[in-house]
Structure 1
Amino acid sequence: MDVMSLLADGFAVSLQPFNLFIVIAGVTVGIFIGAMPGLGSVNGVAIVLPLTFIVPPSSAIILLCAIYYGAMYGGAISSILLGIPGASTAVATTFDGRPMALNGQAGLALIAAAVASFAGGTVSVILFTLFAIPLADLALAFGPAEEFALVLLAFTTFVGLGGDDAFKAIIMITLGLVLSTVGLDLISGNPRLIFFDEPGFYSGISFLVLAIGVYGVGEVLWTLENTKKDQQVTSARVTFAEIIKGFKLLGRFWKSSSIGSFLGFFVGLLPAAGATPAALMAYGIARSASNEPQTFGKGNVEGVIAPETANNAASTGSLLPMFTLGIPGSPTTALLLGGMVMWGLVPGPMLFIEQPDFVWGLISSLYTANAASLIVNLALVPLFVWALKMPFAILCTVVLVLCIVGGYAPNSKMLDVWLIVGFGVAGYLLRKASYPMAPLVLALVLGPLMEKSFRQSMISDQGNLLIFVERPISAIFMAIALFFLSLPLLGRLRNGLTRARTSPVQ
């Protein structure tokens, strides 16, 4: 079957009344989560994930993807009205969105952000549809050696492209890999790392518990400490005339929106890159290519359009390697990957063969989620303005209750609750020390796959480590991984040479 036939079959699934309701509810919740400073898509998916056990697996993934989509839209709302990004992905939107709001153009800024998000999402979903089958076909050639090399590549991108201290990223990856080995050995069945002889550790540490602790409890503690209490919310009004003007502005700045869409999608494919650098890169390109670069940072609507197309395109791009290769492209997709595994759905090329209705139903739901996000975003602006004025202490209480209940419900174990609290406090302290959380969660999710593929490779080739460089695809992945791993060292060497040339001669 060709792509269009498969997509048509997918729409027959995603447009079912229940799934359509799931999409609308998901984007509405997602926009609200994205608009609340300190939450964002990662936290929202982590908090809502346990609640999805009440719906079928396919509807659960559609709901989580809709929340992801909505949160990318919602991040711009607090950036513009409050001057505080709802998530790191909306940082670049603040540069010109907030000045526009202070200049009395809050409604136009919100419309421009929503329309640009719709454009970026549409382009990226089309690219997703076109690239999904070829990438899945390529992945069918993967054996254990290729799987190990690909996971290693995912980890090294966090070291080379993550933007954080490389040493700290390595520490968090190592910690995540250690936590992933808790439980029973996958070959011998012997217990490993059973802390305090607690029986609950025999089943391992659930990624859900870690994610809720780090991204739920930990982020709440962090946000409570850093939220400004005197921040004022700018009022906004959306009219039909301004909506038309927003679409015209998108046509006027089509170059910036096109660059942002394509750039965001392909940057989103890279693990550790994601929507934040894509948005910042798109903003920088738009400013460099503008005839009036001096107006950026002072309320130029192009400075809102460029990053919003990029961050929404990147969010879709990060889904592609997760579904086709089983490698998440962002922290949020790492949570989605873990959720799929919990529901018995194994991401990768076989998913396209064994579960075509699910795959194409989900892909088609991205189209409906994108359109629903635009409509809900524009229709409920007054509600989101009111929500931003709600005391954050109330929101924190609700979030904490959901975290505890959501962590306890799947397995009904008090150990999970204590682990959530422990991971939350640890995540808060590590965040204060500038340690990245994404590598930790990614390592816990991908650790079992990495161990399994490594040990299978060793058994099949009788312990010969050269298997990872003797197979062509694996060798390419290992070479790229080595390149990313060396980037921090090359950067330090270049900085050292620059300082040596610029330092005065004694």
Structure 2
Amino acid sequence: MDEVSALFHGFAVILTPMNLLLMVVGIVLGVLIGVLPGLGGANGVAILLPLTFTMSPTSAIIMLTCIYWGALFGGAITSILFNIPGEPWSVATTFDGYPLAQKGEAGASLTSAFTSSFVGAFLAVIMITFMAPLVAKFALRFGPPEFFAVYLLTFCSFVGMGKGSPFKVLGSMALGFALASVGMDTVTGQLRLTFGFEEFMRGFDFLIAVIGLFGIGEILLSMEEGLAFKGKSAKIDPKVVLQTWKRLPAYWATSLRSAVVGMWMGVTPGGATPASFMAYGLAKKMSKSGKNFGKGEIEGIVAPETAAHAAGTAAMLPMLALGIPGSPTAAVLLGGLLIWGLQPGPLLFVEQKDFVWGLIASMYLGNLVGLAIVLTTVPVFASILRIPFSIIAPVIIVICAIGAYTVHNAMFDIWLMIVFGVIGYLFKKLDYPLAPMVLALVLGDKAEDSFRQAMLVSQGDVSIMFSNPLVGTITGLALLMLFWPLISKLIALVKPPKKDEFADERPVD
């Protein structure tokens, strides 16, 4: 049990007054970053990275990772209260978190999200502690075909397990792929679908689209409904937290399954955003109350939040062990390690034991501190619902505009945000799902790059997607998910109807 003794040594490293203070400051800053749409954990860490250059590497990484944990927690706040995802991975949380808050259970919704986030991170840190060598060897086997297979599985599972018409899901996803292809081709360097507009050269930023689709779109719908902000009289107290905790153990299977999905997507790396979507889809498919998902089910909050936090935490493992960032934030942290003179890789666990195990220990303690901070401030967040809509609507629009502007410091992004807001409004009116388009927009370019790299390696031979058991299994699962609606209908046609065993006992009219 060398890992346990090394972990206790890590706790001895971080349990100093300065490191604990930096941990609290990082969590608070991270929550604020997560609440503000458009800023994001990666941007927040990047902005504050220069502040850590005078610190020791251990203190610096503790503060920066705690900013990340805080952003993971904070992203659920605006998703649940305003239906505006503060972070990309919080999109799936809006599906049930917002409706539950509108029922007057904002406290239960927030408590479920925060607690699930903590559980996901805790399980992921345990995995990092005890499975680092095995996971490192596994991740080394991933090349372009394996990466594309993971993205394909994410897309196909959303088609197979999504609610509503599969054709509407495919149509929404196709539009997202089209938007993701705008800008510069990363393989050839040529411009695509820019139509002469210089602003389109950088493509459509995911955060701007999300702010418009969910934030402005929801405001337009609320205005149409008569400027009524539902759930504004919600009140909670500490009893709500305890009552919610009593309900959460019933969803232990969903939490465990979602944590496994999140850890898989964090290590491979797939990312917190697809992990949250995939976990939500699995929960909806396997839950007894799956038909009620989207109407305010706590299980629909538990699944995406657990998976997102597990993925965000697990992404640190390939970054430390292999130097492969599993998320945008991990990439920023990787740059910080290089600036501090630390070379990520297997030798880091040998040459910098204090740093590595201090960081792992800070993951345990940082998430615990984060949970305590956000839970004690739940009444503050829930009280926002009591603000009249006529006051809060302009504030939300201004926050969305600031968030959109800060992405590239360009006024054009604000106009894009408004356009996406109108698209979001129309999609909701026509009953087209927004999530598939958002998912395709954020992952479309990455999936395309992986596919084209795989085709270059195989000289155009698609059979490379079945060239080894690993990529073949993932691709096979993806195809199964894609055609699952058709397969389920065929099974229903072939399967004989159940005989009514009480038919003979009923009186004939």
Selected match of 2:403 from 406, 418, 423: 406
Q: 1:202 matched to which residue of 2?
A: 201
Taking only the aligned residue pairs, the percentage that are identical comes to 28
Q: C-alpha separation between the residues in 1 aligned to 2:422 and 2:73? A: 29
Other-structure match for 2:26: 22
8 Å contact 1:28–1:373 — kept in the other structure?
Answer: no
Task: Give the distance between the partners of 2:131 and 2:495, measured in 1 at CA.
Answer: 41
- Counterpart check, 1:174 vs 2:162: no
Asked if the contact 1:123–1:261 (Cα under 8 Å) also holds between the matched residues in 2, the reply is no
Query: Are 2:169 and 2:432, in contact at CA under 8 Å, matched by a contact in 1?
Result: yes
* CA-CA distance at 1:234 after TM superposition: 5.1
1:450 and 2:447 are equivalent in the alignment = yes
Structure 1 residues 119 and 19 mapped into 2: Cα distance closer, same or farther (>3 Å)? Answer: closer
2:488 is equivalent to residue 481 of structure 1: no
SS of 1:434's equivalent? coil
- Structure 1 unmatched runs, 5+: 34-43, 80-84, 286-302, 327-335
> What's 1:39 paired with?
none
Q: CA deviation at 1:426?
A: 0.9
CA contact (8 A) 2:38 2:208 kept: no
SS class of match (2:419): helix
Matches within 5 A, 1:460-499: 460-495=457-492
Tell me which of 437, 441, 444 is aligned to 2:438. Answer: 441
Verify: 1:146 aligned to 2:146, yes or no: yes
Q: 2: distance between equivalents of 1:87 and 1:341?
A: 27
2:38–2:407 contact (8 Å) kept in structure 1: no
Q: Distance in 2 between matches of 1:416 and 1:256?
A: 44
- Per-residue displacement from partner, 1:382-429 (whole Å, max 9, x unpaired)? 534533211133233222212222222342323222211111211221
Report the counterpart of residue 71 of structure 2 in structure 1: 67
Alignment TM-score, normalising by the size of structure 1: 0.68
Whole-angstrom CA distance in 2 between matches of 1:203 and 1:441: 17
C-alpha contact 2:222 2:228 (8 A) present in aligned 1: no
Q: Distance in 2 between matches of 1:281 and 1:200?
A: 44
1:274 and 2:271 aligned: no
On the 8 A contact 1:61/1:340 being kept in 2, the answer is no
Is contact 1:213-1:427 (8 Å) kept? Answer: yes
Measured against aligned partners, the alpha-carbon deviations of 1:78-108 in whole angstroms (never above 9, x if no partner) come to 99xxxxx98334479789x96xx8xxxx99x
Deviations 1:230-278 (Å, cap 9, x if unpaired)?
Answer: 7562544437xx98x769x85xx89636445324423556743335864
CA distance in 1, matches of 2:259, 2:413: 36
- The 8 Å contact of residues 124 and 313 in structure 2, kept in 1 or not, is answered as no
Letter in 1 for 2:71: I
Which aligned pairs between 1:40-189 and structure 2 lie closer than 5 A?
A: 46=38, 52=44, 54-56=47-49, 62-70=66-74, 72=76, 87-90=94-97, 117=116, 120-121=119-120, 124-129=123-128, 130=130, 134-189=134-189
Does residue 388 in structure 1 map to residue 385 in structure 2?
yes
Aligned to 2:309: 316
- Would the alpha carbon gap of residues 453 and 312 (structure 1) be closer, same or farther in structure 2, given more than 3 Å must change? closer
* Partner secondary structure for residue 417 of structure 1: helix
Distance 1:318 1:191 in 2: 33
User: Does residue 375 in structure 1 map to residue 372 in structure 2?
Assistant: yes
Query: Aligned partners of 1:385 and 1:498: how far apart in 2?
Result: 49
Question: How many residue pairs align between the two structures?
Answer: 441
1:118 offset after TM fit, Å? 7.9
Amino acid across the alignment from 1:55: L
Query: Residue deviations 1:211-239, cap 9 Å, x none?
Result: 22223323333455568557562544437
- Matching residue's letter, 2:256: F
* Native 8 Å contact 1:9 1:360 kept in 2: yes
Shift of residue 451, structure 1, vs aligned partner = 2.1
CA RMSD of aligned residues (A): 4.9
Q: CA deviation at 1:147?
A: 1.7
Taking the aligned partners of 2:479 and 2:251, their CA distance within structure 1 comes to 34
* 1:64 positional shift: 4.7
Task: Judge conservation of contact 1:122–1:370 (CA < 8 Å) in 2.
Answer: yes
Q: Cα deviation per residue 1:22-68 (whole Å; 9 max; x = unaligned)?
A: 213434786xx6xxxxxxxxxx5545569725322976664354233
The 1:428–1:473 alpha-carbon spacing in structure 2 relative to 1, beyond 3 Å, is same
State the shift of 1:361 in Å.
Answer: 7.8
8 Å contact kept, 1:124–1:313: no
1:219 alignment partner in structure 2: 218
Partner of 1:430: 427
Cα distance 1:372–1:2, how it changes in 2: closer, same or farther (>3 A)? same
TM-score, structure 2 normalization: 0.68
Deviation of the 1:365 alpha carbon: 5.6
- SS across alignment from 1:435: coil
Compared with structure 1, are the counterparts of its residues 323 and 449 closer, same or farther at alpha carbon in structure 2 (3 Å cutoff)?
Answer: farther
Deviations 1:427-446 (A, max 9, x none): 22113323233332332332
Residue 214 of structure 1 aligns to which amino acid in structure 2?
A: L
Q: Aligned equivalents of 2:470 and 2:283: distance in 1? A: 27
What is the deviation of 1:160?
A: 1.3
- Cα distance in 1 for partners of 2:463, 2:213 equals 38
Matched letter for residue 48 of structure 2? V
Structure 2: how far apart are the matches of 1:171 and 1:94? 30
Measure the CA separation in 1 of the matches of 2:177 and 2:254: 35
Counterparts of 1:194 and 1:139 in 2: how far apart (Å)? 36
Q: 1:112 & 1:187 partners in 2: Cα distance?
A: 45
